[in-house]
Amino acid sequence: MKPRYIIAAIIVVALAAAAWFALDASSIEYADIERAERLGKTVQVVGSWIKEDGMKYDETANTFSFAMKDEHGKRVPVVLNGAKPNNFEMATSIVVKGRMENGTFQASHILTKCPSKYEGQPADAHPEA
């Protein structure tokens, strides 16, 4: 076999391996809080803001913090480096992306799901004429 083909084959294998590792690193799985604690890596957690615990924005540190509970009711403090997401107060659920560190979820991004203006109104919202 010619050295040129061997070198080409090595390059193809190396590029395929690099692509596989890049795709594997970019895939972020969903987890609950307990699993996020065990994994210790970046995950996405679906939950809801615990309104009774309030929220806080620290201008000096540029951090937004609040408490959330996941789908199983487990509670955790969340800290986002950045400002409060738009419509946070109206959110019916939130997805936090980040990792657990020392009992706190350090969020890199927060997605909010708000009630849709296209959802139907309750039956009693439309009085009979």
Q: What is the pLDDT of residues 71-97, one digit of tens each?
A: 999 999 999 999 998 889 888 899 999
Q: Would you list the domain boundaries of the chain?
A: 29-113
The closest alpha carbon to 56, from 46, 64, 67, 47, belongs to 64
Structure tokens at 71: 């789908």
**CB burial class (10 A; 0-12, 13-18, 19+) of residue 109?**
middle
Measured in Å, how far apart are the chain's first and last C-alpha atoms?
Answer: 87
- Give, in degrees to the nearest 5, the angle at Cα 7 between 6 and 11: 115
Q: Considering just the CA atoms, what is the radius of gyration of the chain in Å?
A: 22
Please indicate, yes or no, whether the overall pTM of this predicted structure exceeds 0.75: no
For 27-64, write each residue's pLDDT tens digit: 678 899 999 999 889 999 999 999 999 999 999 999 99
Domain 29-113 has CATH 2.40.50.140: yes
